[in-house]
């Protein structure tokens, strides 16, 4: 009994047509995401550019998934509803009026440093949710102590050190920012 093999290699015209269809479906998805992008968070193009500049993450995470996580960072979601927008709003409302603009600018800049990295697939990032929680809780402590700008300086320095691989996830904990706080008094 002989076996007949069918060729499944498409002609060049069919292959080009498939590539065009796949590209167009990506454009439709991108266009839909752009239309649904919340106006209160930084422009989607900033995050698309960050995604496109990270070949390693592109190999393990789709752009659509990445952008969903960016939105979750800013807006929160079912698992953790205290997104960066809420943190920023709480900070602004708690600051003296004459310091609000500067605080708003700094917290927005910090968010722009955290979000593109945090939104990546877990195997390809250096910022994790537990770190963001520590930074949020430490921000509340900084507010209570009137040390918001000093604290934000420390976080920005740590973000730089993390990006350079000079410190690791395990180095981000409450006592790093407030050494006098007892570990057992800090629960999250």
Is residue 64 included in any domain, yes or no? Answer: yes
Q: How many domains does the chain have?
A: 2
pTM to 2 decimal places: 0.79
Would you say 55 and 75 are in contact if contact means Cβ atoms under 8 Å apart?
no
DSSP H/E element including 20: helix 12-35
Would you say 172 and 134 are in contact if contact means Cβ atoms under 8 Å apart?
yes
My answer on whether 103 and 168 are in the same domain is yes
My answer on whether 55 and 109 are in the same domain is yes
Would you say 110 and 159 are in contact if contact means Cβ atoms under 8 Å apart?
yes
My answer on whether 85 and 116 are in the same domain is yes
Range of the domain at 47: 41-185
My answer on whether 117 and 83 are in the same domain is yes
**Pick from 66, 63, 175, 159: which is nearest to 107 by CA?**
159
From first to last of its 188 residues, the chain has per-residue pLDDT tens of: 544 443 445 555 654 554 554 444 444 455 666 678 999 999 999 999 999 999 999 999 999 999 999 999 999 988 778 899 999 999 999 999 999 999 999 999 999 999 999 999 999 899 999 999 999 999 999 999 999 999 999 999 999 999 999 999 999 999 999 999 886 544 44
* Number of CB atoms found within 10 A of residue 23's CB: 10
My answer on whether 101 and 171 are in the same domain is yes
My answer on whether 15 and 62 are in the same domain is no
Is residue 161 included in any domain, yes or no? Answer: yes
């Amino acid at each position: 009994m002989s076996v007949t093999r069918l060729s499944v290699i498409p002609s060049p015209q069919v292959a080009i047509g498939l590539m065009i269809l796949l590209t167009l479906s990506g454009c439709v998805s991108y266009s839909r995401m752009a239309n649904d992008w919340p106006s209160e968070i930084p422009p989607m193009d900033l995050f698309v550019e960050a995604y496109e500049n990270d070949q390693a993450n592109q190999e393990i995470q789709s752009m659509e998934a990445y952008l969903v996580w960016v939105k979750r960072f800013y807006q929160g979601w079912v698992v953790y509803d205290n997104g960066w927008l809420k943190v920023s709003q709480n900070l602004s409302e708690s600051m003296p009026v004459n310091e609000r603009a500067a605080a708003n600018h700094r917290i927005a800049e910090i968010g722009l440093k955290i979000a593109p990295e945090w939104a990546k697939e877990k195997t390809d990032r250096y910022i994790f949710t537990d770190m963001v929680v520590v930074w949020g809780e430490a921000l509340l402590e900084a507010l209570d102590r009137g040390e918001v700008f000093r604290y934000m300086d420390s976080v920005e320095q740590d973000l730089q050190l993390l990006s350079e691989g000079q410190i690791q996830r395990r180095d981000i904990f409450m006592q790093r920012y407030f050494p006098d706080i007892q570990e057992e008094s800090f629960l999250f």
